[in-house]
Structure formats: structure tokens, C-alpha cells
Amino acid sequence: MNNSPHNVLCVDDEQNMLNALKRLLRPENYTLFTATNCSDGLALLKEHDIHLVISDQRMPEMNGTEFLAQVKADYPDVIRIILTGYTDVDSITESINKGNIYKFFLKPWNDQNLKLEIRQALDQYDLIQANRRLHQKVLEQNKELQEANENLEQLVRDRTQTLEFQNQALELSRAILNDLPFPVLGISTEGVIVMMNQKATELIINDTRFELSGPLEAYFSKTVIERVNHVLASGKSSRVITGQDFDGTTYTIDIAPLSDRFSGKGAVMSFRTETANPPANG
């Protein structure tokens, strides 16, 4: 499963047994480490990324089951195999039941069987590591997905808050426009009334009131229409002094083009009451 070399540690107090394992495993794609006692074996485990440990059972400092129990405690991912004689089978079985040992082989072992079991053990090691990496990747992806969802939720909240603010601002603008103390009309580029405030609805021109979608020609003189068309075409404001009474009142009409992203799409007409000149002091 893994094309890169595996690191295998062999621990035995008899050098001839270590030599036999070296000869057996040298043709395989393994990096071999050897130790003649458990202390040196634990030291090698600290220094190198060992994937599998093969240990003899009977050693003077610490027996194999005790040594591999320590290996399991410190390096739980390492695969652990023990070599033993017939007389130690009961203690080995107990260690297997505790999970300290992956498998055991009786001395003398069968070379082909031992090589096959070692290869299968390392395949299992690779599978466990691959599953662990996959699990970690899934956790990371789930975390990224959770963060993305949280960011999206925050973005939606921010967007919703912005829209609510814009809607409130729009409603307020409409209320302010509607409550202005003078008439205001919104004119499209076609010269049609598309908006009017409350005061504009109350204004009577030529015995009629303004209506939405009504053409300007129905309410204003040719002079006013020409001024409106000039503003729509030039984009420059204009003031029209009508010199006539609307509903008994003389108004000054200001015509201003729309600006920014609505530039060229219409104009605003506002009506201001003309004020008589005050008498001179005498």
C-alpha cells in the first residue's frame, strides 16, 4: 500500500537472532534498526519514526511482553510482533488479549510466513494511517464548511441589516418628500408625471389636479414644457417664473435633472410660492 520504505525495529538480546532477522528482511523494502536490549530499543523509538517492532520474549532486562506494553503506551500506532518459545504461549496470549501485541511467532519461525505476516502488518499500519489522515481531512473540511456557513450567515445578517436600513431610509425619504410644505413632481424623460407628494395632489391647475402617468402638456404652458425638455436634454437646472396663478397662487417652478445613477432618466419639478416685495421704508 505504501511504496516508501517502512522502518522496522528488531529487539533481541542474542546477536545471532538479530542477524537472522537482518538476512531475512534485507531484501524487503524496509529500513532496519536493531537493539540488543529494551532500553536501546526505546531510545531508537524516540529517535526514529518506527512503524513495526519485532521483539524477543525472553530478555534479561525486561521481557518482550513488558517491553511491547511500554511501546504501546508510548507509541500506540506502532505494530508489535513478538517471537517466543512454546513455554511462553500463555503469557503471550494474555498480552494479545490486552492489545499489547499484534501477533506472535514461535521459534523457530517459518521465513516465508514471517515475511508475509510482517508485510500484512505494515499494510495494516498504512491503512490505519490513511484512515486517520482521511478522518483528519474530513474534520478540517467540516470545520471549513462550518466556518463558511457561519460567514455566509453573517453575510446574510449584514446584508439583511443593510437592506432593512435602506428600506427604512427609503421610507423616511418618501415620508419627508410627501410632507414637504410645497408641491413636488417627478417627471420621466417622456414628460410624464411619475411621482408627486401630498401638496402636489392638492394643487389645482387649469381646473384639474395632477394625476400619475399624466402628460405635462395637460397641465402646463408651452413655455414650461420647453424648459422641462431643455433640462432633460442638457442635464442643467432651470427656473421658470410662470407669472400665472395656480389655484389662486403664483408659483416659482424649479426644474432640476436627476443625478448620479439616475442621470438622464428624469427631472424634479418643485413649486415655491412667490413672495411679494416688502414695502420700502419711508
pLDDT for residue 193: 94
| pLDDT tens digits along 185-213 | 999 999 999 999 999 998 888 788 999 99
pLDDT for residue 12: 94
Listed in order, the ranges of the chain carrying CATH 3.40.50.2300 are 6-134
Residue 67 scores a pLDDT above 90: yes
3-state secondary structure of 57: coil
Full-model pTM:
0.54
**Of 45-49, 252-256, 260-264, which gets the smallest average pLDDT?**
260-264
pLDDT for residue 275: 64
- What residue has cell string 405635462? 216
For the chain, give the percent of residues with pLDDT over 70. 93
Report how far apart, in Å, the C-alpha atoms of 126 and of each of 75, 163, 168, 258 are.
15, 54, 62, 71
All cell numbers assigned to 153: 450567515
Report how far apart, in Å, the C-alpha atoms of 148 and of each of 99, 135, 138, 141 are.
41, 20, 15, 10
Residue 224 scores a pLDDT above 50: yes
| pLDDT bracket for residue 75 (50, 70, 90) | very high
pLDDT for residue 279: 44
Listed in order, the ranges of the chain carrying CATH 3.30.450.20 are 180-273
Residue 101 scores a pLDDT above 70: yes
Residue 282 scores a pLDDT above 60: no
All cell numbers assigned to 148: 463558511
pLDDT for residue 238: 81
Residue 280 scores a pLDDT above 50: no
Residue 61 scores a pLDDT above 90: no
Q: Which CATH superfamily is domain 6-134 in?
A: Response regulator (3.40.50.2300)
The predicted model gives 80-84 an average pLDDT of 90
pLDDT for residue 278: 44
| pLDDT bracket for residue 1 (50, 70, 90) | very low
pLDDT for residue 196: 93
| pLDDT tens digits along 12-48 | 999 999 999 999 998 888 999 999 999 999 999 999 9
* Cβ partners under 8 Å of residue 271, min gap 6: 182, 183, 184, 199, 200, 203, 246, 251, 252, 253
Which of 134, 119, 153 minimizes the C-alpha distance to 51? 119
pLDDT for residue 263: 84
| pLDDT tens digits along 47-59 | 999 999 999 988 8
As a CATH number, domain 180-273 is: 3.30.450.20
Residue 246 scores a pLDDT above 80: no
Residue 88 scores a pLDDT above 80: no
Which of 227, 209, 228, 229 minimizes the C-alpha distance to 218? 209
| pLDDT tens digits along 105-153 | 888 889 999 999 999 999 999 999 999 999 999 999 999 999 888 888 8
